[in-house]
Amino acid sequence: MPEERSALSVSEPKFARWMFRGAAIYGVVALMPLYFLPAPADRPEVYYGFIGVALVFQWLFWIIGGDPVRFRMLMLPAVAEKLVFAIPALVLVTEARAPALAAPFAVMDLLLGTGFLIARSRTAA
């Protein structure tokens, strides 16, 4: 009788596929509306540059999700991408230097980064 495989199985990286593809979809949905908001008057290139780079990473997440075993080495940079927004955003919110609205998005990035680490640990090297 064949052994039943869980979604978290190392030999069948379904969790990693789900995690990265889901993150990519969430990221596009969360980031695209920002293009339609007015950019800050000072440094609009930083605002639009952030959105553009973040959208490129959604493409990378989609690629990783397509073949997690092959692209396992890119999972740690994917975690870093989540942390470089989440940590500074949370610090800035606690210092009242960023709007409170940034906190839920930062927390979501922390959760996704954690999910990426779990996916990496469950994906065969």
pLDDT in tens, 35-80: 999 999 999 999 999 999 999 999 999 999 999 999 999 999 999 9
What per-residue confidence (pLDDT) applies to 1? Answer: 53
Measured CA to CA in angstroms, residue 9 lies from 28, 46, 79 at distances of 28, 41, 21
CB 55 within 8 Å of CB 23: no
Cα gap 122→116, rounded to integer Å: 10
Does 12 score more than 90 pLDDT? no
CA distance 107 to 95: 16
pTM of the model: 0.86
Give pLDDT tens digits for 20-30.
Answer: 999 999 999 99
Is pLDDT at 103 greater than 80 in this prediction?
yes
